[in-house]
Structure 1
Amino acid sequence: MSYVIKRQVNYKAHKSAVTFQFPALFTEKGVLISHLRFLYTKRNKSQSWLERNCFAIELLLKFINNQTLSYQSATELLRAFVDALCFGTVENEQDPTGLYWRPRKSEDVNVLLGHITSYCDYLDEVHGEGLPKLNPMRKATHAEERLRWCAYYRRHSRCFLNHLNKPSAKELSYVRGVNGPERHLLSVESVYRFPEEYFNRLFNDGFKSSCGHQDYASQLIVMLMHYGGLRLSECFQIYVNDISIDPKTGAALVSVFHPSDGKAPETGFNNRRDYLATKFRLSPRNEYPRNHRLHAGWKQPLLTNRNLSFEVMFFPAHKAIEFTLLLQKYLSLRVNGHHPFLFSNSRGDAETKKNFIQKHSNAVTRIGLITAKSQGTTCHGHRHSYGYRLREYGFNQLEIQKAMHHKSPDSCLAYIRPTDEEVRQRMRCI
């Protein structure tokens, strides 16, 4: 009987190599070792990327196992697979494949197809031209070639040192034989931010411990997001030693380091990966699987210091002083554990994203709101509030980019772009 099962495995490329943990696919014939080797070549990718790639290959294998039709080529099979993703497998309440897939969004289909194509290209490189190509290249039409050139110039127009990357005419004159659905051109009206009129209530009344005391750790995390613009995952990369105090103003100076390559807080270590492994027998938190309690992602923000870090820019600036006062209260009660991270739970273990997200949801409910992305009441809504606040106080695009540590100036356009209501209001005034 055919089956596909996903499990986490430890993988070593050779005897002297470091052990990595990857998601692996098992079939009735054993582990799909070629995919594990492919993931090893992509080991520097994020855990989210590795998981998504594994999911894409899992879907393809399940589709192949449940096929009742025969296809003349591997490319035709892939095209049928893309159709199944786009339109689902159920027709007239019947599904001969037994998959019962529902239609997926165009963006999702393109991402999954990209993962499959990347894996198949790896197989082509390893095995040469002997195997039939699943998604071969074909000569692009004139319109397709023009669109590829337009996309190239748009993508590289603001890329640093873009003059070093010049594709050949031949490179952009070929396209894939199988493509996903056309991407929709979307102008997002706005991103949802936490409502400012409720923030003080959330901060003062929302975060309470089980015995009714203030939860200082959660308040500090919310301050880092709401007044410092950090992503939630970045808060859990901060060490106790990453914070210093300005002796003149008393303001907190918070640095966020790259979780693995950043400079270690003590001498004698090559980087933070070396420091965590040697002193605490831990891995960088972005390298744990997503289902591990210590997992905290890393979105590759713009690093501004040679030690591979960036500094949190509190706004309004006086919030950095309030952060210092709250930090002193927290550290006086903090339960120390065998880890360097700033935030610990009541047992001394490193605090987790999952636990804080639940605390934040409980706090939102406690003040009479519901947790919903559309309401801006999720954790990420605080970062959006930070971006909007900078815009409201007249910061320009490049300044907002620096404050929010975006690599591209265009990433902060969501905070600068006028909303539909603002455009209508201006029309009414003319």
Structure 2
Amino acid sequence: MPALNTYAKIVVDNSGFRSEIPILLTEQGVVTPLLDYLLLMHAERSQGWLSMVVKATKLLVEYMEANEGMFSSPRVLFQTFAARLYSGTVGDDGLDPSGLYWIPASTANANKHLNALKGLTDYLADHHGVDHMNPLITANTHDQRLMYAAWHRRNQNDFLGHVANKTVNDTVGRVRYVKGRRALSRVEDDAVAFPEPLFERFYLEGLGGAKDRRCAVRDQLIAIMMHGAGLRESEPLHLWVQDVTDDPHDDTKVIVRIYHPEDGKAPDGWKSRTGKSNRSAYLREVYALPPRNRLRGTKRVGWKNRSPDHRDGFIQLYWFPSDFSRLFLKLWREHLRYLVGVERYHPYAFVSYEKKSLGQPYTLNAFNENYAAALARLGMLPAKVEGRSPHGHRHAYGRRMTRAGIDPVMRKKALHHSSLESQAVYTSPGIADVSHALTEASQRLEASPEPQGSPVSSFTNWDELLKTGFEDIDPAGLLSGANAKLRK
């Protein structure tokens, strides 16, 4: 039986809490060294990270099993394993004697697998000791294979190389034996904002065109929070009803705060029987629920923000322009009337109105489906490269502040970034902006007189230029010549 990655509920003490984490299952049972490592890390790491470690370990175990007896050194084994992540295991003839049939992974994904394995081998080397044996030949369990890798890692610096330089810190003077390929320079997604002229139609006819008015109002509220206050699509789904209050300085406006799903302060001065006042404790004691960022599957809602506006652990929405606050308040009052008629066993403000999930917390999958349906009502499809995506509204918010000349420090605060550099992708020009600017500049250049002999003026008439001189690279005259076929 091949190794299988799945989930399990783990009991480690006499408390009623069970840790639900990914595990690796083989014919011999659970791979316990991996389980020990994940139990140590799961409190501070996300479910996505834990799953990545399990997936990478599964690949390594499968490779070791398929190549048993092929390598005398774990170092060479791991180096070859890394190479096969990049190249795949299928030969030019389409055959793979190992039976793995891996296709080449992208450099980024292969590097993620290798990085995930670094932490695991470090842990095994530091916490486990094994006899000197070669599990590729004699071992009959995956546990022993992993233990052998850990033994070699500890005793012969497996996967590590050292630089003997006493003038630098020991940690700085070390490098991984298998470092992975150098990936392309990290580039943020093209900063394409949701088109401002389209938002009114999208709001009124797209989202507002839903058959169920309750769904329309709910999705319009979320869209306003993204477009008018720059929230990420996951953040509105952490909103509790108590987090929305009237503005004491203007009764036509509203104050909205999104609290950290675990460490944010519980509402109404609540405290647990043991004196805890965070939201994680509130959810557990009042509703017997975990925070949404600790769930898995479609129920999970992530949390990325690390820069709260207050020690109570919330981020406050900064409406821009301020009219979005008035619009939100009007819709919010209507939303509350709909919410009263639905049974809820949770504090979340946005719920499903589908019959099979009525009253349950609204999921990201459901929102994205309704978002796409709203665009379809306008005859459009979601297109991230054109800004028609939930995250495009955050870009639009950042661009709007830039056009208004708002100070970068204020933009940082409004976007809840930890550094000024973080906002660059939301405010810097995208591909379409650069193309548009150069097109306009070209038109101005052609319209302005140039001095005689200018290099630019001598090449402005491209039609004349392309009539001759391209026989060697365009012999069929598709793009050049007096009768170009593809330039008509």
Which residues of 2 match residues 23-422 of structure 1 at below 5 A? 23-43=22-42, 44-67=44-67, 70-92=70-92, 93-128=94-129, 131-133=151-153, 135-140=158-163, 169-187=169-187, 190-207=190-207, 208-211=209-212, 215-249=216-250, 250-266=252-268, 267-269=270-272, 270=276, 271-289=278-296, 291=297, 293-334=298-339, 335-346=342-353, 347-419=358-430, 420-421=434-435
2:438 to 421, 424, 430: 424
Structure with bigger RCO (C-alpha 8 Å, 6+ apart): 1
Distance in 1 (alpha carbons) for counterparts of 2:67 and 2:329: 62
User: Matched residue of 2:379: which SS?
Assistant: coil
Q: What SS does the aligned partner of 2:311 have?
A: coil
1:374-423 per-position Cα deviation (integer Å, ceiling 9, x unaligned): 22222222212212222222224322221111122211111333343366
State the number of aligned residues.
Answer: 404
What amino acid does structure 1 have at the position aligned with 2:292? R
> 1:243, 1:253 within 8 Å by CA — same for their partners in 2?
yes
Amino acid aligned to 2:160: M
Change in CA separation of 1:395 and 1:107 when aligned onto 2, cut-off 3 Å: farther
Structure 2 stretches of 5 or more lacking a match?
132-150, 446-488
How high is the TM-score relative to the length of structure 1? 0.87
Q: Is the 8 A contact 1:71 1:77 kept in 2?
A: yes
Q: For residues 182 and 189 of structure 1, what CA distance do their matches in structure 2 show?
A: 19
Larger-Rg structure: 2
- Residue 227 of structure 1: SS of its match in structure 2? helix
Deviations 1:114-141 (A, max 9, x none): 1111111111111158611184321249
- State the alpha-carbon separation in 2 of the partners of residues 135 and 425 from structure 1: 56
CA distance in structure 2 between the aligned counterparts of 1:211 and 1:226, rounded to whole angstroms: 22
Change (3 A) 1:232 1:225: same
Q: Which amino acid aligns with 1:49?
A: W
**Normalising to structure 2: TM-score of the pair?**
0.77
Q: C-alpha distance in 2, partners of 1:268/1:76? A: 56
Runs of 4+ in 1 over 6 A off after TM superposition: none
Cα contact 1:3–1:65 (8 A) shared by 2: no
Q: How far, CA to CA, are the matches of 1:421 and 1:396 in structure 2?
A: 26
Question: Which residue identity does 1:265 align to in structure 2?
Answer: P
Structure 1's 186 and 283: CA in aligned 2 closer, same or farther, altered over 3 A?
Answer: closer
Q: What do residues 98-128 of structure 1 show as CA deviations (whole Å, max 9, x unaligned)?
A: 2222222222222211111111111111115
How far is the alpha carbon of 1:298 from its aligned partner? 0.8
Distance 1:368-1:126 versus aligned 2 partners, 3 A rule: same
Check whether the contact 2:191–2:428 (CA below 8 A) recurs between aligned residues: no
The answer as to whether partners of 1:372 and 1:378 remain within 8 angstroms in 2 is yes
Q: Tell me by how many angstroms 1:204 deviates.
A: 0.9
Q: CA-to-partner distance for each residue in 1:335-386, whole Å, 9 max, x for gaps?
A: 2411100111222221111111111111111111111322222222221221
Distance, in Å, in 2 between the alignment partners of 1:374 and 1:102 is 28
- Give the C-alpha shift of residue 223 in structure 1: 0.8
Tell me the CA shift for residue 205 of structure 1.
1.2
